[in-house]
């Protein structure tokens, strides 16, 4: 058996077309959705990410502002910028790119963002809303994974989902989203005693560790859905995920490739959240 691919590029195109249409409709009512992206320092990966986010906004008719600051910017100065953006009516979403330089307390900066503009979904108010099923913004990467499952018509009710990784950005929110759709959820991590014993039970596996070959073919139940959140480089310098794609695709029922899987969905869900923030602000 060869797994069917869940194409993140194709699904992103479809969702971004919908975003563009809704943004255009909102514009005719006097509101252009606006995203502010704040980058402190010159981390090369972050520079690529923020450029892609700003470009995606432009392509979908969203207004975006990129604010770049030197690595020695003070925490107080950054907090003051966040406060100014909180009060800027042209800005509906605020994203402070992580990681921040070590002298800045990232959590403090995240908590300074107005929850109404927290399109990354990293604020504790957003995390609390997700946990309790209240309206709020969901972190973009796990949200994108949920959209991918929805796109193949996958019904999570009563299914066993195994999430590998327990980060605040992916693993933990992913588990809560799967739980909200009535899956039975197991969270595995670096201290899990027997990862293979867990993944072999899974109908759905989300790999979000940041390490190559965390999931291999012998660890997957035939027909399982495998979502690969990883972004790594192999020995040849080629982009690869956490999953041994070549091996696992012969066992799984569905699988996301890297690149072209979860990655584009993360930016797409940022656009969706920004649009949603603007619609809420406009009372739409
Ligand atoms: N750094 C890596 N991924 C992300 C993300 O999704 N949001 C922010 N703010 N920083 C990141």
In a domain, 188, yes or no: yes
The alpha carbon of 158 and the centre of ligand 1 are apart by a number of angstroms equal to 31
Cβ(12) to ligand 1 under 6 A?
no
Are 187 and 254 in the same domain? Answer: yes
The verdict on whether residue 165 carries a ligand-binding annotation is yes
In a domain, 15, yes or no: no
pLDDT at 284 over 90: no
Are 94 and 152 in the same domain? Answer: no
Short-list 188, 194, 224, 228, CA closest to 208: 228
pLDDT 10s digits, 73-103: 999 999 999 999 999 999 999 999 999 999 9
Are 70 and 154 in the same domain? Answer: no
In a domain, 22, yes or no: no
Are 245 and 190 in the same domain? Answer: yes
**pLDDT for res 247:** 98
In a domain, 133, yes or no: no
**pLDDT for res 1:** 74
Q: Looking at residue 76, which CATH number applies to its domain?
A: 3.40.50.10860
Are 186 and 247 in the same domain? Answer: yes
Cβ(120) to ligand 1 under 6 A?
yes
Are 255 and 145 in the same domain? Answer: yes
Are 34 and 146 in the same domain? Answer: no
Find tokens 């310098």 and name the residue.
237
The alpha carbon of 97 and the centre of ligand 1 are apart by a number of angstroms equal to 5
Q: What domain count does the chain have?
A: 2
The verdict on whether residue 41 carries a ligand-binding annotation is no
**pLDDT for res 158:** 98
Are 92 and 185 in the same domain? Answer: no
Cβ(95) to ligand 1 under 6 A?
yes
pLDDT 10s digits, 143-182: 999 999 999 999 999 999 999 999 999 999 999 999 999 9
**pLDDT for res 33:** 98
Active-site residue, 118 included: no
DSSP codes joined into one string, 181-209: TT-EEEEE-TT-S-HHHHHTT-SEEEE-S
In a domain, 145, yes or no: yes
Q: Looking at residue 239, which CATH number applies to its domain?
A: 3.40.50.720
Percent of the chain with pLDDT over 70: 100
- Residue from 118, 120, 203, 244 carrying the catalytic annotation: 120
The alpha carbon of 133 and the centre of ligand 1 are apart by a number of angstroms equal to 23
Task: Compute the average pLDDT of residues 129-134.
Answer: 98
Tokens standing for 79? 């907090």
Hey, is 81 helix, strand or coil?
A: helix
* Confidence tier at 48 by pLDDT (50, 70, 90): very high
Short-list 232, 283, 284, 273, CA closest to 34: 273
In a domain, 94, yes or no: yes
In a domain, 134, yes or no: no
pLDDT at 221 over 80: yes
In a domain, 59, yes or no: yes
DSSP codes joined into one string, 36-80: EEEEES--HHHHHHHHHHHHHHHHTT-EEEEEEE-TT--HHHHHH
Short-list 102, 100, 101, CA closest to 110: 100
- Please say which residue of 61, 80, 114 terminates a domain: 114
- Residue from 97, 117, 203, 249 carrying the catalytic annotation: 97
Are 257 and 178 in the same domain? Answer: yes
Are 231 and 144 in the same domain? Answer: yes
pLDDT 10s digits, 223-274: 999 999 999 999 999 999 999 999 999 999 999 999 999 999 999 999 999 9
- Please, what sign has the CA dihedral across residues 123, 173, 282, 64? positive
pLDDT at 113 over 90: yes
Length, in residues, of the chain: 284
Can you give the residue range of the structural domain that contains 223?
140-263
The alpha carbon of 139 and the centre of ligand 1 are apart by a number of angstroms equal to 10
Are 149 and 258 in the same domain? Answer: yes
- Residues 147, 152, 154, CA angle at the centre, nearest 5°? 85
The verdict on whether residue 167 carries a ligand-binding annotation is yes
Are 161 and 96 in the same domain? Answer: no
Task: Compute the average pLDDT of residues 44-72.
Answer: 97
Q: Identify the residue whose C-alpha is closest to ligand 1 atom 1.
A: 98
Q: Identify the residue whose C-alpha is closest to ligand 1 atom 9.
A: 97
């Amino acid at each position: 058996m060869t797994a069917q691919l869940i194409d993140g590029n194709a699904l992103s195109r479809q969702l971004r077309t919908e975003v563009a249409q809704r943004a255009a409709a909102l514009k005719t009512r006097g509101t252009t959705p606006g995203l502010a992206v704040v980058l402190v320092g010159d981390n090369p990966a972050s520079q690529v990410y923020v450029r892609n986010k700003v470009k995606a906004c432009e392509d979908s008719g969203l207004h975006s502002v990129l604010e770049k600051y030197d690595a020695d910017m003070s925490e107080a100065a950054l907090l003051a910028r966040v406060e100014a953006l909180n009060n800027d009516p042209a800005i509906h979403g605020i994203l402070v790119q992580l990681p921040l330089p070590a002298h800045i307390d990232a959590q403090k900066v995240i908590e300074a963002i107005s929850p109404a503009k927290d399109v990354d979904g990293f604020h504790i108010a957003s995390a609390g809303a997700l946990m309790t099923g209240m309206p709020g913004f969901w972190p973009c990467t796990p949200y994108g994974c949920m959209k991918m499952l929805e796109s193949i018509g996958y019904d999570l009710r009563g299914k066993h989902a195994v999430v590998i990784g327990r980060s605040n950005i992916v693993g933990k929110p992913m588990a809560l989203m799967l739980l909200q759709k009535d899956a039975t959820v197991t969270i595995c991590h670096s201290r899990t005693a027997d990862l293979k014993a867990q993944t072999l039970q899974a109908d759905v596996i989300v790999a979000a560790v940041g390490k190559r070959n965390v999931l291999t073919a012998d660890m997957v139940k035939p027909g399982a859905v495998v979502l690969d959140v990883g972004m790594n480089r192999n020995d040849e310098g080629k982009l690869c995920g956490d999953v041994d794609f070549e091996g696992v695709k012969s066992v799984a029922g569905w699988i996301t490739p890297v690149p072209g899987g979860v990655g584009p969905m993360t930016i797409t869900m940022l656009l969706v959240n920004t649009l949603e923030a603007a619609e809420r602000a406009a009372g739409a």
